[in-house]
Structure formats: C-alpha cells, structure tokens
A = this chain, B = another copy of it.
Amino acid sequence: MRWTLPPDQVPEAWFNVVPHLPASMEPPLHPATRQPVTPDDLAPLFPMALIEQEVTTAPWVDVPGEVLDVLRLWRPTPLVRATRLEKALGTPARIYYKDESVSPAGSHKPNTAVPQAFYNKAEGISRLSTETGAGQWGSALAFASALFGLECMVYMVRASFDQKPYRRVMMETWGGQVVPSPVDDSASPGSLGSAISDAVRDAAGRDDTHYALGSVLNHVLLHQTVIGLEAKRQLEMAGESLPDVVVGSCGGGSNFGGIALPFVPDPSVRLLAAEPMSCPTLTAGTFEYDFGDTAGLTPLLPMYTLGHDFMPPSIHAGGLRYHGDAPLVSNLVKSGRAEAVAYPQGKVFEAAITFARTQGSIPAPETSHAIRAAIDEALAAKEDGEQRCILFSYSGHGLLDLSAYDDYLHGRLVLEA
C-alpha cells in the first residue's frame, strides 16, 4: 500500500522546531574569539537568507516559489506501508516508510540542496563548494547547481571517492567538479570533518564562491522538515492518527531531523535515531562545544561529539561517518525527547537484504540503519503483542552502493564494524 500526493501538495512552509524545543539552544561560538557568532561572521560563507533561517524563531518559514517548482519534480514523495516486510517478520506492527529515494539524486539531500542553490543564486553567487561523504550530498548539490546554473566544486571523502567511482561520474554528469579529500594528504581515507575543512577553505578564498553544508546546521534541518510534514498528512490518509515511534538514520542529523522534527510537538511519539557502532556520536559521544570540521575553521557548536579529530573506520555507510551531530538533534537527545541506538554494519546489511527481498527496493547502507531499527521495533511489538505504528525515513536507495552489497554477499564485509 502506498499513499501519493499531487505536486501542489508539497508543503509551502518549512516547520521550525525551535519554539517547541524542550531545552533552550546555546549559540554557536566564533572559533577564534569563542564569542557567539554574528551574521557578519558567517557572510563570507553563506547567503544572508540562510543565515537568517539559521537563527529564526518564527514557527514557519515560507518556501520560495522557485524552490517549490524544483521540489515538485519529485515531491511529495510516496508513503509506503511495508506489508510484505511486516508479513515476513510476523509482526502485529504497522510499518510505514517515507520514500525519499525517488529524488533525481536518489536521497533526501536535494530537499536542502535546492533551496541552498536558490538562495545563493539570488544573492549573486556563481559557484558553490562543499564536502561529501558517501556522495549523496555532493550529488544533490551538483544536481541543484545544474538546475540553477551554478558551478559546483565537491570535496569527496577519499574513502568514498575510491569505493564509489560512479558517485563522481554522477556529479560530473550534472556538470560538477569532484576531487578527493583531504587534498593535502593522499594517504588519508579522509572524513567528513576533513572534507568540510577543504570546502570551507575554498569558499573563504573566493568572492564568487559560497560554502554549502549538507547537514548539521539549523537551516539544513529546517529544509528537510518537508519529509515529516508530508508523512503526517499521508499517515492521516492511511487512517493512522500518530505513529508510536519515528525512526531515522543519523549521521549529521538532516535525515533524522527531517522526519522527526515535525513530531516533536506530539509528546506520545517516540523519536529514535539509528547510527553506526563505529561512529557512535549520540550513543557514546559527549555533549560539549566542538568544531564542525577537523581543522577548526567552523564555529564551535553545542553538540554530541566524538572529538573533531575522530577518524572513523572506512565503513560502507560513508554518509554516517561524522564525529558530531546537529545541535538540534543533540538538544533533543540530551533532553531525553529523542533516543538513539547504534548498530554494527553486519546487522545493518542483514536488514537491508531482508528489506530488498520483501519490499523489492535496495536501500542505501545509511538508510539500512533505520531499517534495522524499524525491524527491531517491529520485533519488540511482536514480543509485546502490540499493534504499534512505526514510521521510518527511507532516506536513499543503494544503487550506487552495490559494491558494499557485493562485499556483504560474498563474505568480505567486516560484520562487527
């Protein structure tokens, strides 16, 4: 079963969770002065419209018409009830997933890439620089840049650059330029932290260039709330009131935030972030001010972190290899409003195969963390004999991650990592 909505039902305003947070947010601090950053501090990197969204307390923020025009190429995305998976698990739970894999880039990332490209274009910028882990974010920004006529420069974590050559080709097909990061150490597998440093340096050094971040920041999570907003409407169409639990995989937090934030005002709804055991930011990190990047160029953010020089192993879910987490998500976890769980990749790929062979779609390794958690929630409901309603974000397909499946299917994957 599947619930679609016509293109004119794309949400016309983003949901701002800030007025609904259980605890107040601490401000980002300037990396040199350790004083709260000002809009002027951020102006070399971001357009003013995004800086305003970063700090706004307005409950809703309008989506510009030019952004809606592009989002409507694939949004609203379908909500699917995973009846075949439910049957295979023998669970009384009802499992729904929001299918973000239908975007041209194959993930939820274009939801923020499109408005970021739009606002930069509107303020006269002609070139964007960014980092990418698994390649999902870089693909999304290359796609959005093509549609708004911007140049796009992508610093790709070297581990993924080497593992996923097709991701580079995808970005090049949209006209993007891609180099492995760190640019100054070809022996390093890299990390999202080091790639952010490369991209920020690029943007800081050129007047025609701004930086675009694919996760972590408030405005990024704001743009992703279309996921949860649409899902709420579609659950109503499916005859559900509210889900018992909302699940999302969590690296920097944009996917988890996108599906979960619109449910923060609904106290009965549990919010569950799934992360890799090899990069267990929310489950084993500490909550403190830390840099967003390895080199210490970004503002200090109040968040769960493993330390900005943490170098996670080269697991296949490259999009989740981030030392920190979005301040908004960290706030929710610290206050107890959201929970987190960590999985080794063997358990994650086991869930991915189960999903592919029942529902038919092949999920990204990142997404498969949420599938693992949703399956475990469904099995817990079976154990408890309860008909719970589970919603998760199917954040991206795995069609450019098939080398990871090849490794798993042929016994070459480190299951415990």
Contact = CB atoms under 8 A, between A and B. Distances in A.
Interface of A: 1-7, 70, 72-74, 80, 84, 102, 104, 106, 143, 146-147, 165-166, 169-170, 172-175, 353, 356-362, 399-400, 402-403, 405-406, 409
Given A146-B356, A172-B409, 8 more contacts: A2-B73, A2-B74, A73-B360, A104-B360, A143-B360, A169-B403, A173-B356, A175-B357
A7 B356 CA distance: 20
A106 B147 CA distance: 23
Contacts of A359: 73, 104
A315 to B, nearest CB: 18
Contacts of A169: 402-403, 405-406, 409
A104 B131 CA distance: 29
A170 B104 contact: no
A82 to B, nearest CB: 10
Contacts of A166: 166, 399, 402-403, 406
B106 A399 contact: yes
A326 B356 CA distance: 32
A147 B360 contact: yes
B104 A173 contact: no
Contacts of A170: 362, 399, 402, 405
A80 to B, nearest CB: 7
A166 B406 CA distance: 8
A2 B230 CA distance: 17
B2 A173 contact: no
A60 to B, nearest CB: 25
Given A73-B80, A360-B143, A362-B104, A353 B402 contact: no
A370 to B, nearest CB: 18
A187 to B, nearest CB: 25
A233 to B, nearest CB: 14
